[in-house]
Structure 1
Amino acid sequence: MRYWLMKSEPDVYSIEDLERDRQTIWDGVRNYQARNFLRSMEVGDRAFFYHSNATPPGIVGLMQVSQPDIVDPTQFDPKSKYYDAKSPQDNPRWRTVQVEFVEQFPQIVTLEQLRQTFSSEELLVVRQGNRLSVMPVDEAVAQKILKLAKG
């Protein structure tokens, strides 16, 4: 099992939405490096749910990959803001995963707390200018995040 961090703006899709829905596909990722991280995920991998563009931003819960390597349907939907007219049907450019709710943390682990605890080499989300929406998290770092989340 590996750990990841996946960002979503809470007004687009929040941890509360995932708790209600129980599972969802993580659609709309349009960065090649983030897409490649999605492609390498396996069933059972855990992902920290990070609320971005929020006050304060931070990790709010945990989810688990329940189905890897899914074609992102939004790339073929002309009504979607994630539509990609150049993505071929027979060899789709954008793939994703299905995730399922594991837990919402009792308190947010804020970006400021993450910056105080980890270096940019340890955790990519604290790196200045990092815009990736999906990124790996080392096992030792993940365990520290879980301790911070549980108080």
Structure 2
Amino acid sequence: MASKWLLKSDPDEYSFDDLVRDGKTVWEGVSNNLALINLRNIRRGDLALVYHTGKERAVVGLAEFTSDPYPDPKKKDPRLVVVEVEAKEKLARPVSLDEIKKDAGLKDFDLVRLPRLSVMPVSERQWNAIQALAR
């Protein structure tokens, strides 16, 4: 079974709509140690919730990883890795951070506990809860 993740993106820099337009992209620019550990654990075929930071602060779409992590070709630091990701679908409606915080079943979600983390694992229960909120 594929693992599930959440990726944060600043929509002013690269939005989910940009990913839909482009089809797929290289997910780069991750430098936080814990986020890099998470990024290194991603495998081709894993799925992701895409979360917009900034004013929007909401889960807006679903994506799939189309590569395993590999060294960032634009950087000299071998610790820095990238993955390739493609858009799967836009959620029927965005799920706001406020909604997520109010859901008792999502109290332990890293999105709530570690708000600055840009790449994080998502449990099956959390994934299903977000999907239900998006309907």
Q: TM tier, shorter chain?
A: over 0.9
Tell me by how many angstroms 1:41 deviates.
Answer: 0.7
Q: What does residue 62 of structure 1 align with?
A: 62
Q: Which runs of 5 or more structure 1 residues have no equivalent in the other structure?
A: 77-86
- The CA RMSD over aligned residues, in Å, is 1.2
**SS of corresponding position for 1:145:** helix
Q: What does residue 139 of structure 1 align with?
A: 124
> Contact (CA 8 Å) 1:27, 1:74: kept in 2 or not?
no
TM-score calculated relative to the size of structure 2: 0.93
**SS of corresponding position for 2:12:** coil
Bigger Rg over Cα: 1
Tell me by how many angstroms 1:144 deviates.
Answer: 1.2
Q: What is the distance in 1 between the residues matched to 2:82 and 2:124?
A: 22
Q: Which runs of 5 or more structure 2 residues have no equivalent in the other structure?
A: none
**In percent, how many aligned pairs have the same letter?**
39
Tell me by how many angstroms 1:75 deviates.
Answer: 2.1
Map of 1:2-151 to 2, 5 A cutoff? 2-54=3-55, 56-76=56-76, 87=77, 92-117=78-103, 118-119=106-107, 121=108, 123-127=109-113, 130-149=115-134, 151=135
* Residue identity opposite 1:101 in structure 2: A
What per-residue deviation string (whole Å, max 9, x for no partner) do you get for residues 26-78 of structure 1?
Answer: 10001111011111111111100000012x311000000110112223324xx
TM-score calculated relative to the size of structure 1: 0.83
